[in-house]
Amino acid sequence: MASHFPSIQSFYSREVASNGVNDSSSPTRVGDGFTASEVEALTNPLSRPFQPSRCYDVCTIAELQTGPHDYRITGRLVNFSSTGGPHRTPASPESCYFLVICDGTAAMAATAIAAENQAEIGHIPYCSVATTIYPGRNGATHIEFHVDQAGSEEDCSLRLPLEANTEKYEYLPGLMTLKSFLASGYDLGEGKILVCVQSVGPRRTIHPKKKEGTLGLVEVGIYDDTARCVMKLWQDKIPSAKSWVPNQTILLISRPSCRQYTSRQGGVNVEVGVGYSTIIDVDPDFPDAIWLRSKIQDMAKKRSIMVPFPADIWNLQSAMYGPNRTLYTLAELEDQARNRDPASNFTGKLSVVVYEMNLMEHWRRCTTYCNECCGIPLYANKPTAICKNCDSQRDLSLNPRVLGSFLDESGMIIGQKLIWNDEAWNQFLFGLPIEETTASHEQANPTQQSWKDIATFNTDSMRDLEMQLLYSRVTLTFGWSTELGRLCILGVEW
Ligand SMILES: [Zn+2]
């Protein structure tokens, strides 16, 4: 296939003696003086190794001197935009791209690809220098995009945010909680927020009211320990979110753009966006980010929708039927877990009464089964569901909240804190001996009914099951997990 840009010479054909051959667009034209590899290097510049011809002095951005020098700087891209219209309109292939690069000492701007004007960088914090990367005429300026392997030394480098570069770090100027930013902090225009990605939504197509055409949009849920909100990524910024992991990726956003609007329900909402002078540090490495990361782990433990049963900690057979079985009261269990031997994953038995059941309530709310995908809770009244974000089918577990609470003479356990083994659910739901039935005095669950089966129940049988379990006395075999700080139910005996 003929390339649209066969060579530099044809590109600037008027400036070069053409030897009478003017038809530069003809693919059959021969002998323009360039070898096939030279043409390839121009038409597909990323195919060649990065080997600038000159010597460049390695320099931090803060140390750059204006004037003719050969510097080599390395930094992270913290914002970019294209000149394809000021706000969200598509960029044409000839657009100028405007890149903002930070290396922890300062920021700089670079305009790239056929920029017509020298960069006018406007007001971007810490950004006082700019360079133009212009293919063709400016042969001395090059740009190389690195793809670092996750966890490598390069990947961990250059993650110190601007102004955090001090030996005795105390605080980052302008950093505020998301709550205070949303309340009024955005008025200042200078604020910084440190947030964790909560969810990355699906790509949507928006038809703007006042403009023709369509726009791509991805909504990223962000939160810290004080609030949560939505950050909108439009058009060519959408791919940036591709590598963001819900509940893991931390973003330091300096000068986010902010829009206040009234929702249909009448509430005032604030959404965050990436403006021209915004700087986003992805996974920044400084004390506040380390603090937020551990805070988020604590929060995740507390609000987690579904904690999977930890396999391979306990031998279920010996815990249930082995020689060393200790009967605990709830108070003794608490004492052992918190005070006496907090480091051990001990097991034992509890004799408790089912004090509260929420089976019907969750059935009505369609939250009988649950799981989490893409950082978003998934609920259903059947044991599978499709994640609305990634469209994949997920297996759900029985929602531990269907059991309200257990009670003994010394205390109470809230059901939502328990982590159930699948077999223990089967024994709990279907193991109770049924009184006054034709099945005489046999143990129930002879057909090995599963917790998945209640998805086929109608409302009446669900209510019957709930009434049957409520206020009955049951023996639980438990395991205390120190890693999770939770009580796991290994088995149930009636
Ligand atoms: Zn998903």
For 334-349, the pLDDT digits (tens) are 888 887 766 678 899 9
Residue with more model confidence, 352 or 186 = 352
With 90 as the cut, is the pLDDT of residue 476 above it? yes
Please give the structure tokens belonging to residue 126.
């810490």
Give me the sign of the Cα torsion angle 423, 425, 426, 432: positive
- Between the CA of 200 and the centroid of ligand 1 the distance, in Å, is 9
Residues forming beta bridges with residue 219, ordered by sequence position: 232
Distance 388 CA to ligand 1 centre (A): 7
| 435: three-class secondary structure by DSSP | coil
Indicate if the alpha-carbon torsion angle 176, 180, 183, 185 is positive or negative: negative
| Residue 167 Cα to ligand 1 middle (Å) | 41
Which tokens hold the place of 33?
A: 């003086």
CA distance 481 to 419: 10
Distance, CA of 112 to CA of 99 (rounded, Å): 8
Mean pLDDT across the stretch 61-90? Answer: 77
Alpha helices in 100-221 (DSSP H): 153-156, 178-183
Query: Topology of 316-358+402-493 in CATH?
Result: OB fold (Dihydrolipoamide Acetyltransferase, E2P) (2.40.50)
pLDDT classification of 437: cutoffs 50, 70, 90: very low
| Pairwise CA distance, residues 330 & 413, whole Å | 8
**What amino acid occupies position 471?**
Y
Query: Rounded to the nearest whole angstrom, what is the distance from the C-alpha of residue 373 to the centroid of ligand 1?
Result: 4
Average pLDDT value over all residues in the chain: 81
What is the amino acid identity at position 386?
I
Contact 261, 271 (CB under 8 A): yes
Mean per-residue pLDDT, 169-193: 86
159-303, which class in CATH?
mainly beta
Taking 90 as the threshold, does the pLDDT of residue 167 lie above it?
Answer: no
Give the separation between CA 304 and CA 79, rounded to whole angstroms: 33
Tell me how far the alpha carbon of residue 392 lies from the centroid of ligand 1, in angstroms. Answer: 6
What pLDDT is recorded for position 438? 40
| Residue ranges of domains in the chain | 1-48, 159-303, 316-358+402-493
If you measure from the C-alpha of residue 372 to the centroid of ligand 1, how many angstroms do you get, rounded to a whole number? 8
CA of 165 to the centre of ligand 1 (A): 37
pLDDT at 489: 94
* Residue predicted with more confidence, 434 or 380: 380
* Ligand 1 centroid to residue 378 C-alpha, Å: 9
pLDDT class of 456 with cuts at 50, 70, 90: very high
- Top mean-pLDDT range of 4-13, 110-119, 406-415, 435-444: 406-415
CA of 319 to the centre of ligand 1 (A): 36
CB neighbourhood size of 354 (10 A): 21
- Give residue 377 CA to ligand 1 midpoint distance, Å: 9
pLDDT score of 72 more than 50 = yes
* C-alpha 282 – ligand 1 centre gap (Å): 22
CB-proximal residues (5 Å) to ion ligand 1: 373-374, 387, 389-390
pLDDT of residue 484: 82
**Which of the residue ranges 6-10, 33-37, 113-117, 412-416 has the most confident prediction, judged by mean pLDDT?**
412-416
In 3D space, the residue among 240, 248, 230 whose CA is nearest the CA of residue 77 turns out to be 240
CA of 202 to the centre of ligand 1 (A): 10
Whether 159-303 shares its CATH topology with 316-358+402-493 is answered: yes
Query: For the ranges 304-308, 326-330, 418-422, which has the lowest average pLDDT?
Result: 304-308
Task: Report the alpha-carbon distance of residue 465 to residue 429 in Å, rounded.
Answer: 8
Q: What percent of the chain has pLDDT over 70?
A: 82
